[in-house]
Amino acid sequence: MKDELVLEEKDELYEHFNFTVDKGTDLLRMDKYLLNLIANTSRNKIQQAAKAGCILVNGKPEKQNYKVKPLDVISVLMAHPPREIELIPEDIPLDICYEDNDIVIVNKHAGLVVHPAYGNYTGTLVNALMFHFQNQSGKNQESPRPMLVHRIDKNTSGIMIVAKNEYAQIKLANDFFHHTIDRKYLALVWGDFKEDEGTITGNIGRNPKDRLVMTVFPDGEEGKHAVTHYKVVERFGYVTLIECTLETGRTHQIRVHLKSIGHPLFNDASYGGDQIIKGTTFTKYKQFVANCFKLLPRQALHAKSLGITHPLTGEKIFFDSDLPDDFQSVIDKWRHYAKHKEYEEDITPEFDLTHREKESIHGPKE
């Protein structure tokens, strides 16, 4: 049997497979055929994927009872949750914007990890949702389980959607895969922009010198295709508030893309934004920035809004959120500074490398 498997988008919690059926293959139900080829799945998951229109044969959606034929080209999108450990319900406060039998929309606070993993087995959004779902009844009278289709960084705040059943999960995963989800972020970044809007295109992948951070590969030979659109919302001279729209959804996409064009996020320690990159040499200015860092001890990034097609009803729905207090207080301080201070003695950025990158070259500070 000749099969070609393509695995994509692991960071986005789904897998995309392509199979070409061998010439000598007998007629076989599609769900049985795929069950023998896709590891760590079940017949029910395959049937849910077919029901959601996520299994294509020769470019056309087919049901699970379709009989595969020689040379059929089968494309499958499957939800691929993070490696599961025992999920412990925990009573953690949540800001829930909307909930029904199929989805829940959460306004995640900064500092909350999305799902259990190495180093964070408890205290996550998934643990909190397990507790929240305990008294609810889903299919077969069992409590729903939180099923992720995307995530946002621990220290990024804002709107997230979580599925409550397999059908909703695979339907939403398909929308994320085909980039039909409308996501907008607000970011405070270092520096001013000559233009009012623009687009950043550049493949994103793990930094070969530091696997904990991402980097842009401008030649396009490595990493995954990524596109970020941005628009200036408000200028404060040395920093700028921008709105970012994601065309793709790679790990740390906004953070690494903006660093690549010389505008790292304000106080983003992983990408160099936790240093004074633009401004004056005045001591008072340095203290002002230090005070802002103290008020906002994380990267200045907020998932502002999310527009989706409801996986069950097909209705277009939209969710928006206010900036959290820490982010808003820093915006207010910069707005006041920009109004009352003159920009003199501009300095050229001296911090092209992050602390992490410097340590990889020179070793850690004593």
Residue 215 falls in which region: left (phi positive, over 0), alpha (psi -120 to 50) or beta: beta
Q: Return the H-helix or E-strand segment holding 97.
A: strand 96-99
3-class DSSP state for residue 307? strand
> How many Å apart are CA 297 and CA 293, to the nearest integer?
5
Q: Return the H-helix or E-strand segment holding 284.
A: helix 283-295
What are the two backbone dihedrals, phi and then psi, of residue 354, each rounded to the nearest 5 degrees? -75, 165
> How many Å apart are CA 154 and CA 251, to the nearest integer?
12
What are the two backbone dihedrals, phi and then psi, of residue 66, each rounded to the nearest 5 degrees? -60, 135
- Residue 153 known to be catalytic: yes
Q: In this structure, are strands 103-108 and 96-99 parallel, antiparallel, or unpaired?
A: antiparallel
Structure tokens at 44: 């029910």
Instruction: Answer for the pair 147, 169: CB distance below 8 angstroms, yes or no.
Output: yes
Please report how many Cα atoms fall inside a 13 Å half-sphere around the Cα of residue 84, on the Cβ side: 11
> How many Å apart are CA 233 and CA 170, to the nearest integer?
35
- 3-class secondary structure for 327-343? HHHHHHHHHHHHHHCCC
> How many Å apart are CA 66 and CA 27, to the nearest integer?
9
> How many Å apart are CA 244 and CA 233, to the nearest integer?
10
Q: Of these residues, 31, 72, 102, 153, which one is catalytic?
A: 153
Structure tokens at 108: 């995640």
List the end-to-end C-alpha distance of the chain, in Å, as a whole number. 59
Structure tokens at 30: 């599609």
Active-site residue list: 153
